[in-house]
Amino acid sequence: MTKKLKYLILCICLALLCSCPVLALGEETPVQVSADFGIYHSVKSGRYVPVHIRAEKNGDFETGTVRLSVPVSYQESYIYEKKLTFQNRYIEEVIFYVPIFYNTRKLQIEVLDQEGEPVYSSVETLNIQNDYGEIFTGILDRLENDESRLNHLIIEDNFDLSIREINISTDSFPEHVLDLNLIDVMIVNPSAEKILTAEKRKVLWQWIEQGGVCIMNESSQEDWKIYGNGCCYYYSGDLFSQDEEEIRKIFRSVMGSERLDHISSSALMGSGYDYWDAASLINASDAKNEPPLYPYAVLLVLYMFAVCPLIFLYLRKKRKSIYYGYHVLFCAGLFTVLIYVAGGRTRIYGPVVQYCRVLELQGDWIREDNFIGVKSPDNKENEIAVDSSYAILPIQSGLDSYYLDGEQYDFQDYILKIESREDCSAIKIRNKEAFETSMFLMKRTEKNSGHSMLKASLHIFNDKIEGEVENQTGYNLTDVFVAGYGHFYYIGDLENGEKAEIKDQEMEHYTPEYFSTVSGALREENRGSGEYFISSVFGKPTEQFMAAGFVRTEPSFLESEVYETDGLTIVSQECETAFTEGNQVYYPVLERRPTVISGTFRYESWMMESESCVIQYSLGSDLLIDSVAFHVNPCTSGENTLYRHVFDGSAWFMNWESGQYEEAGSLEGIMTAEQLAPYLNENNQLQIKYEDTDYGNNIYSIGLPFITVTGREKDAGY
């Protein structure tokens, strides 16, 4: 054996010896951890991402803590912690819902022992793409013969948006709505929905109602339905066999330009819920609790007159001006004490919790969203204990995290820590400026064990409403109202157990984007929250109507009463609504999204954002039209009318026989089928050309008339 060979063998042996302790250490690691991020490891910024962590014990490890660190801004993180208790089990699963920001590239997972020492640590790199917008498209149970023409297909050049396919099997379909927060569009193949369990099917439809877009592929007939803030498009063909241009057309149609724009811009923003809306909602909750200034003004005036000139003149008259200085000191001391006592309720010594609680009663269930804001008079670490049954979602402005450097994080330097304890969840906030607000959304769904309800049975026809609304919520409600898309009726206060009768009353109209057009009916302290509620629930055209009211109660989500709290609760429930009278049916909104031939039209708010616009309305191909009503879009009501006004330009109907446009008049009021006969084609399509020369000159949004339809169904035998 040569000397060189001996030297080589020696080096190999030394290397093996050095590696032995590492291998042994790996074998002795108390836990083995695996993690799944988002949907099949796919995530996108601007959303809340589910992080599923699976820990398997490898020895005598019984209890500990799993910690997840999410880089947020500069060198700071959000930290989530939850206890691990294996007991007789070998596998424990933990789920966190965390916000992903523009430059969040990595997450850190740790397992700590009972002494807080790490026994496992890993840094996970996220699969994220921010260079261009992506439409996350879930495909439920893809058929074997389906050829993918969707993946990476660019839908909109202006927004630089492309489709990203995510195949989901019925077996692995999420069991929680938050797990679908990443999905923009869900394509359901034939029979796939029927295979889902009842609970998973409920999750799918809850996701749609909360704003999801679903395409039912190869349906028996083509149809379009609005459910809450989302929609379902029943496509009669096979989407996967269409050419690329047809796929683009379908996606643009079902999503609309506003939704596409939001997806494109949200990649650059913060967490999924709009930061500014949440801030306005929380700040509006304490409108009536601001301390009055009158006591201080009265005390100040008394002090000024007591010191000078009253005391001075009195002492001068008594020839005792030498004592004036003592009187000044006495008055100053006395009024200092009085002002200190009078201002006791204005001083803050601990955390202040502002909230807006939104309860939606759903038969056997209650869905609850709590928007809360926490602020402190100092910049020390503050802790808030809340009910552990809530999912806690931090809300942060995307501007705070945009310039984050992904390689410079100190995972342990946190601005927020959320600890899941046995009896509660703790929110720890630090490194915040005094009175800077930290905002959260807390969500949960619980059984309606008390059978609470705000029951409304309504008949709505030709813009009139009748029926009854009964308060069985357990609360004395104020400012109860009934609303649908563009429709509003104010009832007033309803005590618990009280019933309101409505008899053939006219409904008001409002623009969903500017609820101030009718918010004057509400008390001042309820207006801000009412505006948010109506714009979030009825942000898109839907036949759904809701009854809602307000109440101020102590928050139930706090586990301690040591905090100063202020806020309100909104209680709502969907109405049982009928839109028929005799053989006629009333459509408060059009069943199909209008087709924009030219110009710019915002379907959600029914506004034109160009000088001229040509829109084709589908009034219902299976309907015998009796009349069409044009309602003013009152977008200029309220204190701020800049940038928008009601349409007062010229309008023309397309005459389908002549192929020429004819003047339509003012487009206000009811037009009968006879009047509209030349302008309705065989598919009951009405094409209108609008022109308003006031566009520009600080006018960028023009409210076009709302359209409602009254008719009879063709297959009803009439």
Q: Are the C-beta atoms of residues 243 and 21 closer than 8 Å to each other?
A: no
Q: Are residues 459 and 571 in the same domain?
A: yes
Q: Give the model confidence (pLDDT) of 571-622 as tens digits.
A: 999 999 999 999 999 999 988 888 899 998 988 889 899 999 999 999 988 8
Q: Are residues 146 and 205 in the same domain?
A: yes
| Distances from the Cα of 379 to the Cα of 429, 432, 618, angstroms | 9, 5, 58
How many residues would you count in the chain?
A: 718
pLDDT at res. 294: 67
3-39 exposure pattern, b = at least 16 Cβ within 10 A, e = fewer: eeeeeeeeeeeeeeeeeeeeeeeeeeebbebebebbb
3-state secondary structure 207-224: HHHCCCEEEECCCCCCEE
Cβ atoms within 10 Å of 91's Cβ, excluding its own: 10
Rounded to the nearest angstrom, the gap between the alpha carbon of residue 573 and the centroid of all alpha carbons in its chain is: 18
Q: Are residues 492 and 421 in the same domain?
A: no
Query: Pairing state of beta strands 425-429 and 414-420?
Result: antiparallel
Q: Shortest CA distance to 383 belongs to which of 413, 354, 414, 418? A: 418
Rounded to whole angstroms, the Cα distance separating 629 from 669 reads 6
Q: Are residues 593 and 707 in the same domain?
A: yes
pLDDT at res. 25: 36
Q: Are residues 486 and 566 in the same domain?
A: yes
Does the residue 11 lie in any domain? no
Rounded to whole angstroms, the Cα distance separating 80 from 72 reads 13
Does the residue 24 lie in any domain? no
Q: What's the CATH code of the domain at 57? A: 2.60.40.10
Q: What is the DSSP letter of 321?
A: G
pLDDT at res. 24: 33
pTM, two decimal places: 0.80
Does the residue 407 lie in any domain? no
Structure tokens at 571: 């209680």
Q: Are the C-beta atoms of residues 613 and 601 closer than 8 Å to each other?
A: yes
Does the residue 10 lie in any domain? no
Q: Hey, is 288 helix, strand or coil?
A: coil
pLDDT at res. 290: 54
| Distances from the Cα of 479 to the Cα of 36, 183, 319, 513, angstroms | 46, 36, 64, 20
Does the residue 16 lie in any domain? no
294-305 vs 324-342: helix axis angle to the nearest 10?
170
Q: What's the CATH code of the domain at 618? A: 2.60.120
Q: Count how many domains the chain has.
A: 6
Rounded to whole angstroms, the Cα distance separating 410 from 187 reads 41
Of 74, 104, 125, the one marking the end of a domain is 125
Angle of CA points 488, 177, 415, to nearest 5°:
95
Q: Hey, is 71 helix, strand or coil?
A: strand
Residue ranges for the chain with pLDDT beneath 70:
1-28, 73-75, 88, 130-132, 143-148, 157-159, 265-273, 284-294, 296, 299, 305-308, 343-349, 397-412, 561-562, 637-641, 715-718
Rounded to whole angstroms, the Cα distance separating 299 from 431 reads 38
Q: Shortest CA distance to 164 belongs to which of 174, 153, 172, 175? A: 153
Does the residue 712 lie in any domain? yes
Q: Are residues 164 and 58 in the same domain?
A: no
End-to-end CA distance of the chain: 106
Question: What is the identity of the amino acid at 602?
Answer: R
- Residue 670's domain comprises 588-716
Rounded to whole angstroms, the Cα distance separating 708 from 690 reads 18
Q: Are residues 561 and 599 in the same domain?
A: no
Q: Are residues 611 and 537 in the same domain?
A: no
Q: Are residues 501 and 546 in the same domain?
A: yes
Q: Are residues 93 and 159 in the same domain?
A: no
Measured over the CA atoms of residue 512, residue 517, residue 521 and residue 522, the dihedral's sign is positive
Does the residue 406 lie in any domain? no
Does the residue 6 lie in any domain? no
Q: Are residues 569 and 459 in the same domain?
A: yes
Q: Give the model confidence (pLDDT) of 334-382 as tens digits.
A: 777 777 777 666 666 677 888 889 999 988 889 999 998 888 877 778 8
Q: Are residues 493 and 429 in the same domain?
A: no
275-284 vs 524-537: helix axis angle to the nearest 10?
150
